[in-house]
Amino acid sequence: MKNAFTDSEIEKLYTILEQVKDPEIPVLSILDLGIVRKVTLEDNHVQIDITPTYTACPAMGVIAMDLVQLLNTEGYHNVVINTVLSPAWTTDWMTESGKEKLKAYGIAAPHQKSKLDKLLFGEQEQIECPQCNSLDTKKISEFGSTACKALYQCNVCKEPFDYFKCH
């Protein structure tokens, strides 16, 4: 992500990007989600490549609009947002701090199964309850508050919660 501009200018751009949140999960910025692929700055012309989390996710339009508006407010009037579909976004791209924020917000973070997990539990998903950290949880519905999330319930504390689905 190197170009002719100084690090402080790029840093300023990233500070702006950090302020753009996922409208469905307002604690997560687009940097937390890991959907920003590339940022280029040339003669005050900003180009940002974004990979949507889910192609059908209506949140992406809102994110692009917020991003352009915020950059305009900050004095960048030449803004182009490119949608890059390949390679497809996976929950692996989410930052660790993003996963922590997601959990603090009460949504189970995407869980990548290790080889050992698969041996012990098979393909069955082990989702940790964001309230009490128990792994004794069950899926209630494939679709939670939005299509990007599934609805789970904890068997220990009985709290229902959203799980950010792995892709």
Residue 127 near residue 118, CB atoms below 8 Å = no
Q: Which of 132, 135, 140, 143 binds Zn ion (CB under 5 A)?
A: 132
- Give the Cβ contact number of residue 111 at 10 Å: 17
Q: Which lies closer to Zn ion via its Cβ, residue 38 or residue 158?
A: 158
Nearest by Cα to 38 from 53, 52, 49, 51: 49
Q: Which of 27, 39, 147, 157 binds Zn ion (CB under 5 A)?
A: 157
| Stretch near Zn ion under the rule CB under 5 A, chosen from 51-59, 101-109, 125-133, 143-151 | 125-133
| Stretch near Zn ion under the rule CB under 5 A, chosen from 26-34, 75-83, 90-98, 127-135 | 127-135
Given the rule CB under 5 A, which residues bind Zn ion?
129, 131-132, 134, 154, 156-157
